[in-house]
Amino acid sequence: MFSVGKILVLFGVVMAGVGLLLMFFDKIPFLGKLPGDIHIKKENFEFYFPLATSILLSLIVSGVLWLISYFGRK
């Protein structure tokens, strides 16, 4: 049961970190304005799809989860 407690504490820390990141999301200069993000602007229409930002965040989250699983096995 002790390992379940560790997982819950880790999940709480990660969620608090994500919450803080979302609070200061506007102040992160490179996030959402990377080359490769699709931004189409017309007269009455605006479309924005952060493709490169999504890929970068996916790589970061995958790396963090890999590190957690790697050190969790030891």
Are 40 and 14 members of one domain?
no
Q: For the chain, how big is the Rg over CA atoms in Å?
A: 17
In percent, the amount of the chain with pLDDT more than 90 equals 22
pLDDT, mean of residues 36-63:
91
Helices in 24-50 by DSSP H: which ranges? none
Each residue of 38-47: pLDDT tens digit? 989 999 999 9
Q: Is 40 helix (H, G, I), strand (E, B) or coil?
A: strand
> Domain range for residue 11?
1-27
What are the angstrom distances between the C-alpha of 29 and each of 2, 25, 61?
Answer: 40, 9, 19
Are 17 and 42 members of one domain?
no
Encoded amino acid at 38, one letter: I
pTM over 0.75: no
Are 46 and 68 members of one domain?
yes
pLDDT at 2: 63
Are 23 and 35 members of one domain?
no
pLDDT at 55: 92
Are 13 and 35 members of one domain?
no
Are 10 and 43 members of one domain?
no
Q: Is 38 left (phi over 0), alpha (psi -120 to 50) or beta?
A: beta
H or E element that contains 56: helix 51-73
Quickly state the pLDDT bin for 1 (edges 50, 70, 90): low
